[in-house]
Amino acid sequence: MSSGDASEQGRRMSVLSWDQVRRLDSILGDSVPIHGRGNFPTLSVKPRQIVQVVRARLEEKGVVVRDVKLNGSAASHVLHEDNGLGYKDLDLIFGLNLTDDKTFRLVKDVVLECLVDFLPEGVCRERITALALKEAYVQKLVKVCNETDRWSLISLSNNTGKNVELKFVDSLRRQFEFSVDSFQITLDSLLLFDRCSETTMSETFHPTVQGESMYGDFEEALEHLRSKTIATRSPEEIRGGGLLKYCHLLVRGFQPSSAAQMKQLQRYMCSRFFIDFPDISEQQRKLEAYLQNHFTGMEHKRYEYLVTLRQVVDESTVCLMGHERRQTLGLISALALRVMAEQNAIPALSNITCYYQPAPYVRDVNFSNYYVAQVQSPMAACSNSYQTWLPCS
């Protein structure tokens, strides 16, 4: 490794302080309920336990785990507790070699087998199949295998949105959306301390834990987190362009590091979003899932979020034809109206944003300031689906 590469690698890394290690230990030690569907009981799982069990089982099967890392919003919470984001999902990354389909299947089977260990006493484990466990406790299964990315994801269900997400990564080209969610914390030293030390951790005696920013410069990314600054690069590399997360950050009080630069990046965010989700039905499913997964306990913010999203899409979308643009804007407006109805509250006039269309029968000049709002369900408003998109200039 050249001196320049070593210097760049050094900027990406940082050793956690005692307060950060203590927060990390607390997160790994807190029990998270994994809710079962139907008659299956709720599992009580500590993140450190499931990591240790899954890792041990994989290595018993001959799969070497390079390292285990905490990723995403939970890692950001460890590094800066009052970051304005909180955390929902617990993203745990297992680094390993996914050489073929057989290894992918083995990883999935091992995780399902491990769930049996967390079933409460009195449950007849012998009669529970792997398929039954998957249907009961797995919210999402993802497998990606192409030239640049080889990874799989198993997301365990939690009714409050605090899912335990186990990601098994061989290679992953893009590992962050924005600098504030680019942190990964290596857990190996802390887990080794758990197994080998009989002494309780203290400020003067605790393992060295390293964090890394996939954005590039650790201290710069951490300062963005502290100052609530939005920064990213090449959003066209992100699935969905990072558009939904970007609007979420805006609603949470984060501000772009450069307003002019972010205006340009918004175009790439919108373009990538509509490339990945060209159909109006896909857009609706994506938006509804995002609202459900990221605003639990913050339902009052959903309307503001949709208004912000509509504004960004309206200002920065250059890749859609006119009818597609109107469909998407209509969908977002209809969802915003539905959110208001669900909350059973109409905001104060100073805070409300409404989108009006002139009534078709208004032709007289005396009625030039008179508008009638047309309200339909999201899918009724967007009944025709078009998948044509145009490249950005």
- 183-186 and 164-171: which strand pairing? unpaired
- Cα 216 from Cα 195, distance rounded (Å): 32
| C-alpha closest to that of 136 among 43, 30, 58, 31 | 43
Kindly report, residue by residue over 312-333, the tens digit of the pLDDT.
999 999 888 888 999 999 999 9
**What are the angstrom distances between the C-alpha of 343 and each of 158, 302, 337?**
23, 10, 10
Per-residue confidence (pLDDT) for residue 369, from 0 to 100 = 42
Q: pTM for the full model?
A: 0.83
Cα–Cα distances in Å, from 391 out to 144, 268, 271, 282, 310? 26, 11, 8, 20, 21
Which helix (H) or strand (E) segment holds residue 314: the answer is helix 302-316
Percent residues over pLDDT 70 in the chain: 84
- Asked if residue 125 has pLDDT above 70, the reply is yes
pLDDT in tens, 344-373: 655 544 455 555 445 444 444 444 443 334
